[in-house]
Structure 1
Amino acid sequence: MLALKNTENLTGALISGDYWDLDELCTALHRLTGNESRYLDWQGARMRLLRTMHDLRQAYQGSKNVESVGNGLKRDTMKNHDFIASQNNIYFSTEILWPELIFALVAINDFINLHKKYEQATDLDIHIVNARKLQALIAEALKKNMSEETYTFAMQYVITSNAFVEEYAIQYIDLLNISYIDMSKEQRTQAFESIVHNIIVQTKDYHNFKSKILSETNKTKSTIHDFRMNIEYPESIEW
């Protein structure tokens, strides 16, 4: 079963599941994001989701965390059905930074809408259903980190599709990630709602940042998706 929970220091969330859970999720995100040339105005968001998919694939290929989890199979059941099997399943997991997950919550909405438009898909499309599962898990975990009022406002904003990631300055997520990593757990707790608000509502802080990025891209005649900031992530993160 796919699951998502806060890491100990609130740095991010741990996404876990068996091989098929994580493979199913990656397949859904891959299908929704389409090929590189299809959704040109969403290339930044697409690259961001591909990075999350890469982490998930690394997890179920055994490069991240692996644990043995009881599967509920009892000895009496095996005896009654005359077979022997393991009483544990192997679960894989990986940590994802919270700003990255909040962005994914919004970005998935856009790609679901694009998938519906160009593939004539419905809400019952299996890839949409599986992607919605991740959104639901992110939303449920967010609920534990926010006041009821702020959480309700943020989720309503996402549900009504007022939040969108077309031509998004994805460098802003890098900025938030680095800033968030450098915080203490107490600072993260205090800043959490503000970070959610900045990403989902796209506040003045975001738009000022995007204006600076656009000013730089105009000098080089490059797209907002291709602009690279000189940012380095730490080799290890205290999750």
Structure 2
Amino acid sequence: MLTMKSTPNHTGVKISGDYFDLDELNQAIYRVIGQEDQYYGYAGSRMRILGISYEIRHAAQGDRNVDFVFNGLHEHTMKQHGFIAPDKNIYFSTEVLWPELIYAAVALKDFVKFYQQDKKFPLWDVHLPVIFRFQSLVLDCLQGHVPTAEFDTILKAFNQPVTVNDYAIQYVDLLNLKYIGMTRQQREQSLSAIAMKLAVQDQDYTTFRNQVLAAAVPHKKPIHEIAIQAEYPEKLEW
């Protein structure tokens, strides 16, 4: 079963599951976000979601964390059925920064809408429930780390028809780096505010986007291709 849990320092979220859980999620992401350049104005958002997909794929291959999880098999059950088997399953996991994961949950709303439009019977699609569960798990994990009143506001923001068309994805980097630079306590206190900034696209985002556009227009580059002067630390204290 796919699970999400905030890391000890609240730097990000640990996404866990067995091989089939992670592979199913990865396959669903690939299907829903479509082919490269399929949706105009969404190349940058697609790249960010693929970054998470990359981590999930490597986790499923055993390249990240390996955990042993109790599988519900008790000693009396083995005696009853006359066999001996391990009482733990192998789970794989990877960590993703909180702002990065929240943005993916927001951006997937647009991709889900496009995907549903292309399907004659989207209600019976096997990939959409996987994506919906992924988004729900992000919010459920978030709920455990923000005050109830603030979480209700975040939920309302997530339900608004805000599009990430031509989104300045560098803003996610800005929030990631700002978040990494905080103390554990500061992260706990600012998590709801960051979630709102990603869900609503406030004045700070608008100002930032205009700055990126000003750099993109003279060179006739798409907004997502503008690089920012910032580097991630080689190692994170999750």
> TM-score band, normalised by the shorter chain?
over 0.9
Tell me which residue corresponds to 1:232.
231
| 8 Å contact kept, 1:105–1:135 | yes
State how far apart, in whole Å, the 2-side matches of 1:53 and 1:16 are: 13
Matched to 1:4, the amino acid is M
Shift of 1:82: 4.1
Tell me which residue corresponds to 2:169.
170
**Number of aligned pairs?**
238
Tell me which residue corresponds to 2:42.
42
Tell me which residue corresponds to 2:87.
87
Q: Is 2:183 the counterpart of 1:152?
A: no
Matched to 1:120, the amino acid is K
1:1-239 matches, within 5 Å, as 1-160=1-160, 162-239=161-238
Shift of 1:119: 2.9
State how far apart, in whole Å, the 2-side matches of 1:144 and 1:76 are: 35
| 8 Å contact kept, 2:154–2:192 | no
Q: Structure 2 stretches of 5 or more lacking a match?
A: none
Shift of 1:121: 4.5
State how far apart, in whole Å, the 2-side matches of 1:79 and 1:87 are: 13
RMSD across aligned positions (CA): 1.4
Shift of 1:230: 2.6
| 8 Å contact kept, 2:168–2:224 | yes
State how far apart, in whole Å, the 2-side matches of 1:226 and 1:123 are: 36
State how far apart, in whole Å, the 1-side matches of 2:167 and 2:2 are: 28
User: Which secondary structure does the structure 2 equivalent of 1:145 belong to?
Assistant: coil
Matched to 1:175, the amino acid is L
State how far apart, in whole Å, the 1-side matches of 2:121 and 2:43 are: 21
| 8 Å contact kept, 2:22–2:57 | yes
Shift of 1:126: 1.4
Shift of 1:185: 0.8
User: Which secondary structure does the structure 2 equivalent of 1:192 belong to?
Assistant: helix
Moved more, 188-197 or 58-67: 188-197
1:66-85 Cα shifts (integer Å, max 9, x gaps)? 01111112334334434443
User: Which secondary structure does the structure 1 equivalent of 2:89 belong to?
Assistant: strand
| 8 Å contact kept, 2:6–2:12 | yes
| 8 Å contact kept, 1:123–1:129 | no
Matched to 1:180, the amino acid is Y
| 8 Å contact kept, 1:163–1:201 | yes
User: Which secondary structure does the structure 2 equivalent of 1:9 belong to?
Assistant: coil
**TM-score, normalised with respect to structure 2:** 0.95
Matched to 1:7, the amino acid is T
| 8 Å contact kept, 1:115–1:121 | no
Against the structure 1 CA distance between its residues 51 and 121, is the aligned structure 2 distance closer, same or farther, given a 3 Å change threshold? farther
User: Which secondary structure does the structure 2 equivalent of 1:126 belong to?
Assistant: coil
1:30-65 Cα shifts (integer Å, max 9, x gaps)? 100010021121111100000000011111111111
User: Which secondary structure does the structure 1 equivalent of 2:93 belong to?
Assistant: strand
Moved more, 83-92 or 71-80: 71-80
Shift of 1:29: 0.6
State how far apart, in whole Å, the 1-side matches of 2:2 and 2:190 are: 28
Moved more, 30-39 or 151-160: 151-160
State how far apart, in whole Å, the 1-side matches of 2:191 and 2:177 are: 14
State how far apart, in whole Å, the 2-side matches of 1:204 and 1:124 are: 39
**TM-score, normalised with respect to structure 1:** 0.95
